[in-house]
Amino acid sequence: MSGVWVFKNGVVRLVENGAAAGGEAVRRRKVLVHTPSGQVVRSYAELESELRALGWERYYEDPALYQFHKRGSLDLISLPADFARFSSVHMYDIVIKNRDSFRVIDI
């Protein structure tokens, strides 16, 4: 359980995901950045282009996933087919497997 304890009008309560002084939740959005170009990855087409340049190959077997494999390694990147469901967990998976090419930042 994570959050911030807020004391207001004599009552203490836990507000999930942090909170501003006014009681509104503060949520930082994360984005994946292609480090050499400094560009934010905004679509799977952009991501696929960058991964192909790094030697990753796309698997087309499961239409519910975007999957990439790099020859000569055991690494597999699996992403949801809907880019709207692309989360920070997926971003960090890409960063770990391509350390010098991608990074995740808060905006």
Q: For the residues of 39-106, what is the DSSP string, one character each?
A: EEP-SHHHHHHHHHHTTEEEE-S-TTEEEEEETTS--EEEEESSGGG--HHHHHHHHHHTTTTEEEEE
Q: Across all residues in the chain, what is the average pLDDT?
A: 87
Task: Considering only residues 29 and 23, tell me which one the structure prediction assigns the higher pLDDT.
Answer: 29
pLDDT in tens, 32-79: 999 999 999 999 999 999 999 999 999 999 999 999 999 999 999 999
**The pLDDT of residue 14 is above 80:** no
